[in-house]
């Protein structure tokens, strides 16, 4: 049988083969990109989980290390490992440990092979390098080893500090075995679907191609041009004529280029949205936890300086207890920037007065006076969210003041509303930015997140209340909040 050159093939066959090859290449390229993106996404999530687990241990580790309470450190590691195992999640913990500043083991999930009090001994050069990186870490980071193999792992490293003194580090290592299996399964699904879509697209493309070329069978010059191989390659299809085939080729090239660009832009936008969402959650939670945390640290510092002062102990222990429970509630329930909890828990009015001691501890040695006036009914039950509102407003007022400052807190009832006023004698707020105060992420502080007043606004609005601000240059600032404390039925 004589050989027939592809240039002599009918246009319908060549166009069908070209469409099939193009769809196959693009389909499998898209599938490969999706598989790679899934792997990186799974990898990133596992790294974040490793950091979160390490941070969960790091919350209580400094106190335990100062007290030399090694049993508590070990129980923290053991409980974390048990909870993770019970969840049957992808967080398979390989090892976890707490090391002091000299690299000595304070607690380890495998205490038999890693005795407490001895310097941690890496098994090989790779482990030695990871050990050095962990001990040199001063901010949370993720270490990895094993590349894309199922035997690899990710390690969350969180340094420990107390009063800005470096105490050591928490290391939590998670296996990527389940991540690897999940990625393989995802690759199988994606490539299988891609294969079927390629087959379906190729069949449809062949049918469409044949229908498209049927009206052109009589155009011999156009068929001769195609027979010279202008459609045998897709990247790109050469456009040498301005007839119907040429215009079709040009349109096809343009469509594929636009689709590729659109896919690229969609991937970039999707990744940007994920990063922005993660940033909002992290910044919001950090902002909310930092409010009571600074006061708690001051309380602890004061108690450390006066360990025998029973009056201070009796005064600050309830404040510490309240602050820690508030941090626990925030971390458990609040996702700042994405939602506001809809809970309707109520607390006694005395909870608000406990914030006074917390703010005193926040002031520390600064020359700032707090005037506290609470004339609300002592038996009144108020929404628990008011604590967060008042704490944020007081914290903002303290942050803006330097020396010889005064903060005035007033709370009283007016008919069915509870009125809250927080005033300061600071520099005031320029009128040019007053309308932006409650916008998310708007801040004038160098290290601010711009979420405090936005959260206050959302909480007040969520309680069907109102918030207003009055201010003048060098005339101080006052925030007025009014929230209903009596239901409409009772009114």
Domains of the chain by residue range: 1-235, 338-484
pLDDT over 70 at 400, yes or no: yes
Q: Which range has highest mean pLDDT (156-165, 188-197, 479-488)?
A: 156-165
Contacts 24+ apart (CB under 8 A), 445-449: 445/399, 449/283, 449/284, 449/286, 449/287
- At residue 374, the 3 state secondary structure works out as strand
CA atoms within 13 A on the CB side of 340: 15
* Rounded Cα–Cα distance for residues 108 and 98 (Å): 7
C-alpha closest to that of 230 among 460, 83, 18, 45: 18
Percent helix / strand / coil, the chain, rounded to 5: 55, 20, 25
Give the sign of the dihedral formed by CA 223, CA 224, CA 230, CA 231: positive
C-alpha span between 424 and 36 (Å, rounded): 54
Q: How far apart are CA 67 and CA 81, in angstroms?
A: 23
Tokens describing residue 189: 């699904």
In the predicted structure, residue 459 carries a pLDDT above the cut 70: yes
The pLDDT score that the predictor gives to residue 171 is 93
Instruction: Confirm or reject CATH 3.40.50.450 for domain 338-484, answering yes or no.
Output: no
Tens of pLDDT along 20-45?
777 777 777 777 777 777 777 877 88
| 451 pLDDT above the threshold of 70 | no
The whole-number average pLDDT for the span 343-355 is 78
d(CA 376, CA 357): 18
Strand pairing class (368-374; 405-414): parallel
Who's near 173: CB < 8 A, 6+ residues apart? 50, 93, 94, 95, 96, 153, 154, 155, 156
227 DSSP 8-state letter: I
Confidence of residue 1 (pLDDT cuts 50, 70, 90): very low
**pLDDT for residue 473 is more than 50:** yes
Judge if 1-235 and 338-484 fold alike in CATH terms: no
Taking domain 1-235, whether its CATH number is 3.30.565.10 is answered by no
Which residue, among 128, 134, 15, 116, has the nearest Cα to 71 in the 3D structure?
Answer: 116
């Amino acid at each position: 049988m004589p050989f027939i050159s592809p240039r002599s093939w009918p246009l319908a066959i060549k166009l069908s083969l070209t469409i099939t090859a193009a769809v196959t290449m693009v389909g499998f390229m898209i599938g490969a990109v999706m598989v790679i993106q899934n792997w990186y996404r799974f990898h990133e999530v596992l790294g974040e989980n490793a950091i979160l687990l390490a941070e969960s241990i790091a919350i209580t580790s400094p106190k335990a290390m100062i007290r030399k309470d090694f049993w508590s450190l070990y129980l923290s590691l053991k409980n974390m490992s048990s909870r993770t195992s019970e969840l049957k999640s992808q967080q398979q913990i390989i090892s976890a440990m707490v090391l002091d500043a000299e690299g000595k083991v304070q607690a380890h999930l495998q205490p038999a092979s890693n005795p407490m009090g001895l310097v941690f001994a890496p098994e090989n050069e790779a482990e030695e390098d990871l050990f050095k990186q962990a001990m040199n870490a001063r901010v949370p980071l993720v270490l990895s080893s094993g590349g894309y193999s199922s035997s690899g792992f990710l390690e969350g490293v969180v340094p420990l500090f107390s009063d800005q003194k470096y105490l050591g580090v928490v290391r939590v290592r998670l296996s990527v075995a389940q991540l690897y299996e999940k990625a393989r399964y995802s690759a199988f699904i994606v490539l299988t679907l891609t294969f079927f879509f390629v087959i379906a697209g190729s069949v449809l493309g062949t049918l469409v191609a044949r229908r498209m070329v049927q009206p052109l069978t009589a155009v011999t010059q156009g068929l001769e041009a195609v027979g010279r191989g202008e459609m045998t390659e897709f990247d790109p299809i050469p456009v040498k004529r301005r007839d119907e085939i040429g215009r079709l080729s040009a349109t096809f090239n343009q469509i594929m280029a636009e689709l590729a660009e659109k896919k690229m832009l969609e991937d970039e936008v999707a990744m940007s949205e994920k990063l922005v969402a993660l940033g909002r959650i992290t910044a919001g939670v950090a902002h909310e936890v930092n409010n009571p945390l600074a006061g708690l640290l001051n309380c602890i510092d004061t108690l450390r300086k006066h360990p025998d002062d029973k009056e201070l102990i009796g005064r600050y222990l309830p404040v510490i207890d309240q602050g820690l429970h508030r941090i626990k509630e925030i971390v458990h329930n609040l996702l700042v920037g994405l939602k506001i909890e809809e809970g309707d828990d109520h607390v006694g009015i005395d909870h608000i007065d406990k914030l006074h001691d917390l703010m005193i501890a926040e002031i520390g040695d600064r020359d700032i006076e707090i005037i506290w006036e609470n004339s609300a009914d002592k038996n009144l039950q108020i929404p628990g969210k008011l604590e967060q509102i008042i704490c944020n407003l007081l914290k903002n007022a303290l942050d803006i003041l330097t020396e010889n400052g005064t903060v005035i807190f007033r709370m009283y009832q007016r008919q069915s509303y509870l009125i809250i006023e927080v005033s300061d004698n600071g520099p005031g707020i320029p009128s040019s930015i007053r309308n932006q105060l409650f916008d998310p992420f708007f801040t004038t502080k160098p290290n601010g997140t711009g979420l405090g007043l936005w959260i206050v606004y959302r909480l007040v609005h969520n309680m069907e209340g109102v918030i207003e601000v009055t201010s003048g240059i060098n005339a101080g600032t006052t925030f007025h909040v009014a929230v209903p404390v009596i239901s409409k039925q009772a009114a």
